[in-house]
Structure 1
Amino acid sequence: MRTTIGYTAESIGYVIGAQGLVSFASQTLFGTEWGWLHKVVDLPPAASLGIVAVGLALVLVGVKTRNAPARQEAG
C-alpha cells in the first residue's frame, strides 16, 4: 500500500509541476495561455511557480513514502 501511495503522489506531483511550468513559460515567454491550469484558475506567472513548487513537493513526498522502510508490528 505504501508503494501505491508513493507512486500516486509522485505521479500527481509530476502532472501538477508540469502544468505550473507550462503556465509560467507560456505567460512569460509568449504572452499566451497553454496547458490546463488556465482553464481552472487565472493565476499570475509568479503563482505558477508556486504550483511548480507544490508539484515538486508531491514528487518528493511520493519518493520518500515509497522508499521508507516498512514498520514491523510488535508481536
Structure 2
Amino acid sequence: MRTTIGYTIESIGYVIGAQGLVSFASQTFFGTEWGWLHKVVDLPSTAYLGVLAVGLALVVVGVKTRKVSERPEAV
C-alpha cells in the first residue's frame, strides 16, 4: 500500500513541480503564460518558484514513502 501511495504522491509532485517551473520560466523570460496553473491562480513569477519547491518536496516524500515499503522488515 505504501508503494502505491508513494508513486501517487511522487506523480503529483512531478506535475506540480513542472507547472511551477514552466510558469516561472514563461513569465520571467518570455512575458507570456504557459501551462494551466495561471488559469487557476494569478501569482507573481517568484511565487511559482515556491510551487516548484512544493512539487519537489512531494517527489521526495513519495520516494521516501515508497522506499520504506521496499525495505525488508526485521524479524
- Structure-1-length-normalised TM-score: 0.91
Once residues 63 and 22 of structure 2 are traced to their aligned partners in structure 1, the CA distance between those partners, rounded to angstroms, is 23
Partner residue, 2:43: 43
Matched, 1:63 2:63: yes
Aligned equivalents of 2:19 and 2:72: distance in 1?
A: 33
Q: How many aligned positions are there? A: 72
Question: What is the rounded CA distance, in whole Å, between the counterparts of 1:42 and 1:28 in structure 2?
Answer: 14
Aligned to 1:14: 14
How many Å separate the matches in 1 of 2:43 and 2:23? Answer: 9
Give ranges in structure 1 of 5+ residues lacking alignment: none
Gaps of 5+ in 2: none
CA distance in 1, matches of 2:13, 2:36: 15
Sequence identity (%)? 81
Alpha-carbon RMSD across the aligned residues, in angstroms, is 1.3
The aligned amino acid for 1:7 is: Y
TM-score normalized by the length of structure 2: 0.91
SS of aligned partner of 2:34: coil
Shift of the alpha carbon at 1:71? 6.1
1:70–1:12: structure 2 CA closer, same or farther, 3 Å change rule? farther
Segment drifting more, 62-71 vs 25-34: 62-71
Moved over 6 A (4+): none
